[in-house]
Amino acid sequence: MVQPIMKDVLFLGQKSEEATDKDTQIIQDLKDTLEANRDRCVGMAANMIGFRKRIIIVSLGFADMIIVNPVIIQKSQPYDTEEGCLSLQGVRKTRRFRKIKVRYQDESFKDQTQEFEGHVAQIIQHECDHLEGIII
């Protein structure tokens, strides 16, 4: 189901909780809501559609990837950039890392470890910040 985009900074400022296999409806809603906002959005965290669970969705260009309970375990090559967010007006400066390694569960709740770089790595870092209650 397509959900409205959360803009309440008090809600968005709270940390999200571990997700479990009971949260599959949130995964579906993230897919539907990203699809509905595809023209202006490349990723989303569950709290942006009202659920404080550690699930994010990231557009890889050719497909969308669901990442559950992500933990960034390595990061390298920092750089300064600017980002926008569907939950905010305008852009803000931030520091990101070109390469990251992430431990997470996939859509089937299987444990995975994967390296990401470039734009996809940047989106993941932005969405992981959301899970910590950080908005850029």
Q: Decide if 127 is catalytic.
A: yes
The answer to whether 56 contacts Zn ion (rule: CB under 5 A) is: no
From residue 91, alpha-carbon distances to 8, 94, 112, 130, 135 in Å are 17, 10, 32, 15, 11
Q: Which stretch binds Zn ion (CB under 5 A): 50-58, 61-69, 85-93, 99-107?
A: 85-93
The binder of Zn ion chosen from 30, 55, 65, 85 (CB under 5 A) = 85
Q: Is 33 left (phi over 0), alpha (psi -120 to 50) or beta?
A: alpha
The answer to whether 12 contacts Zn ion (rule: CB under 5 A) is: no
CB neighbourhood size of 92 (10 A): 12
Our CB check for Zn ion shows the closer of 27 and 49 to be: 49
Residues carrying an active site annotation: 127
